[in-house]
């Protein structure tokens, strides 16, 4: 299926309206997984023509996504990745964990961006970052699409490595998302050290429910964790 290629339209708009010259595209992967970190990539691309076929990582085959990631590593001006661990997700909640991972990625760039294009409709970064949110930015914005591919490929590799000692969960195939194989292994064996233990899937597993972590928050309010998928076993 053919897709409209991403453009630099949003980046040009930010340059014109804010004067920013160094602009990073930011995207995350792993928000809805049951295991593993949430990973954020920040990519700076400038206004050059992108590699052929660049788009949202979810629209690409595994083979093409891996090929593009290799191209992008040398094509982008710079990029960096940040991660928030399952323990940090449990302790902070998803929104704060996303911000933590994103700030880690942005702080790891060799040059501090003057503006950020953030995929989605919610600004989980906030001050002091100058943020433009773009729904489906991973399809429409070059820098965000590049971040999408780099984040997905890196996290998939991480999950495959974490899964070596937990073969029944097939992390190399599902990247910690709730596939049938993952659900079956979870029901039989219980969560691995890489699972998020504050999440609602444990409510459907009576034999493992005692492992569920209660979430504590500084202000005494418990926000919902965004993006949890498929709790039915």
Residues placed in the known binding site for a divalent metal cation: 27-28, 119
Coil, strand or helix at 181: helix
Alpha-carbon distance 5 to 53, whole Å?
A: 7
Alpha-carbon distance 142 to 228, whole Å?
A: 28
Pick out the residues of the known binding site: 27-28, 119
Alpha-carbon distance 197 to 199, whole Å?
A: 5
Structure tokens at 174: 């599902």
CA distances from 111 to 74, 78, 116 (A): 17, 9, 13
Structure tokens at 135: 């729904």
């Amino acid at each position: 299926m053919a897709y409209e290629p991403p453009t630099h339209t949003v980046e040009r708009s930010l340059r014109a309206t804010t004067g920013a010259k160094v602009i990073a595209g930011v995207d995350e992967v792993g928000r809805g997984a049951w295991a593993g970190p949430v990973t954020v990539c920040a990519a700076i691309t400038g206004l050059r023509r992108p590699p052929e076929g660049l788009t949202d990582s979810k629209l690409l085959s595994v083979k093409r996504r891996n090929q593009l990631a290799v191209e992008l590593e040398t094509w982008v001006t710079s990029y960096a990745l940040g991660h928030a661990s399952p323990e940090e997700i449990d302790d902070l909640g998803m929104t704060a964990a996303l911000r933590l991972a994103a700030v880690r990625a942005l702080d790891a760039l060799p040059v501090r961006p003057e503006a950020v294009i953030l995929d989605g409709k919610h600004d989980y970064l906030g001050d002091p970052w100058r943020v433009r949110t773009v729904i489906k930015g991973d399809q429409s914005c070059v820098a965000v699409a590049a971040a999408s591919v780099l984040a997905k490929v890196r996290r998939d590799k991480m999950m495959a490595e974490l899964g070596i000692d937990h073969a029944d969960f097939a992390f190399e195939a599902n990247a910690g998302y709730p596939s049938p194989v993952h659900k079956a292994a979870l029901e039989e064996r219980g969560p691995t050290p890489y699972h998020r233990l504050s999440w609602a899937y444990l409510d459907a597993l009576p034999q493992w429910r005692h492992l569920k972590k209660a979430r504590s928050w500084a202000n005494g309010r418990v926000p919902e964790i965004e993006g949890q998928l498929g709790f039915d076993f």
